[in-house]
Amino acid sequence: MLPGPIDESFVSGVETAETEEFSLPEVSLPLDRCRSADFSKLESIRGWLRLSLQFKQPIRFPLDQLDPIRKIFANGTILAEGITRSALAVVFLRQDNKLGVAWLPNDIYSQSKWVEVLVSEWAKTDTKRFPNFGDWTSSPEWMTPLELKVVEEIETLKETKQNLIDQLDKKIAASQSKLILVSNEINKSRRRLITAQNDDLVDEVVRVLSEIGFQVEVVDKVIKENQPKREDLRLTDPSGPNKDWEAIVEVRGYSRSSGKTNDFLRLYRFAELYRQEKGHLPYKQIYIVNGQLELSPSQRQEPLSSSTEDLQLFAESNGLVIWTLDLFGALKFYSSDKYFAIKNSIMTSAGRWDWRIQAAEI
């Protein structure tokens, strides 16, 4: 804590700004001659300790004194933060010759106290020009054995603190390296629900649906060459009571679109081919879509958000639309021992799939 320029005030350091090192001029700075040029290009005072002027009791300053200061020194280092947040004194680095400049704004303040504050800061980085500046009672030469003992304790604690910081820095670095490896693996697997399309997306959907308990058949691997194009996947529930339950699944990824109603027509056609093959329609038609890949996940729209009528018709035929971002969220919400809840929700839902409804019931 340092003495303030006004009675009943004090100055304390609150933070450090960012810039290059300060350089004190060899000779007295012709401040009157340089002032206008310096002030006109004053943009910041990075690199100096940022000080706050505090008061022991409430004090008001005339606006006619503070307004000019506020306009010229918006980035001042010494501020009346507790009262007006206006600059009362400024220290900055001249850009042309890297000389330090201190500005004391008003003669009514005790400038000798401000000089003491400013030079105290300079002395920290320029011990050559200020070899004995500061509080002489804190010099070891003039301290008592009791004080020296406390100083030794402080230095020991500082060393212990630094050792702990070094140890934690090493652990943080190791964890950061581990995170990079883990993230790379996730990018090749689960995160494909957010980033992939075509075969990569289909492969990840197969892996996820298998993980939550479905038996998944990739139809392209079983149909004959002369047969027409069919759905991407078929799902069954080997552990469920209804061994005849089966769903057809179409998986699509789009760079710009959030989903296309034409994909419903594809599923209707696939369902009819399924009926011709099995003698009945599939129990469920599932449309899984990862849309608007060009956008970040938080900017994407839900699939077919503007096609409510088409979505309602699809739901009436026991159709289900699953957004891959929702699938990713459900897998993150549920622990692996509760993946059955995701499977049951998919089997019993129609329309737009909302796993949060199921989650709220658990």
Residue 321 to residue 329: CA distance in whole angstroms: 15
- Check residues 21 and 318 and name the one with the higher pLDDT: 318
pLDDT digits (tens, 9 = 90+) for 75-131: 344 444 344 444 445 555 444 544 555 555 444 445 565 566 566 656 666 667 666
Tracing tokens 């639309």 back to the chain, one arrives at 321
Residue 238 to residue 148: CA distance in whole angstroms: 78
Lowest mean per-residue pLDDT among 44-53, 99-108, 284-293, 305-314: 44-53
Kindly give, in sequence order, each residue whose CB lies less than 8 Å from that of residue 273, ignoring residues fewer than 6 positions away: 228, 230
Residue 352 to residue 349: CA distance in whole angstroms: 8
Mean pLDDT for all residues in the chain: 76
Q: What is the pLDDT of residue 249?
A: 97
Residue 40 to residue 65: CA distance in whole angstroms: 19
Residue 233 to residue 356: CA distance in whole angstroms: 25
Burial status of residue 234 (CB atoms within 10 A of its CB: 0-12, 13-18, 19 or more): buried
Residue 134 to residue 128: CA distance in whole angstroms: 13
Residue 9 to residue 243: CA distance in whole angstroms: 83
Report the candidate in 344, 318, 346 with the shortest Cα–Cα distance to residue 354: 346
Half-sphere exposure of 209 (CA within 13 A, CB side): 28
The percentage of residues in the chain with a pLDDT greater than 70, rounded to a whole number, is 61
User: Given this structure, which CATH class describes domain 192-361?
Assistant: alpha beta
Q: What is the pLDDT of residue 56?
A: 56
Q: Grade residue 361 by pLDDT with cuts at 50, 70 and 90.
A: low
Strand partners, 100: 93
Strand partners, 320: 286, 351
Which run of H or of E encompasses 339?
helix 339-348
Q: Locate the domains of the chain by residue range.
A: 2-142, 192-361
Average pLDDT over residues 156-172: 95
Residue 348 to residue 145: CA distance in whole angstroms: 81
Residue 2 to residue 9: CA distance in whole angstroms: 9
pTM: 0.60
The H-assigned helical ranges of the chain are: 31-40, 63-72, 111-125, 145-187, 192-195, 198-211, 262-278, 308-316, 324-333, 339-348, 355-361
Is residue 56 within 8 A of residue 10, CB to CB? The reply is yes
pLDDT digits (tens, 9 = 90+) for 14-32: 544 443 333 333 334 443 3
Q: What is the token pair recorded at 346? A: 């998919």
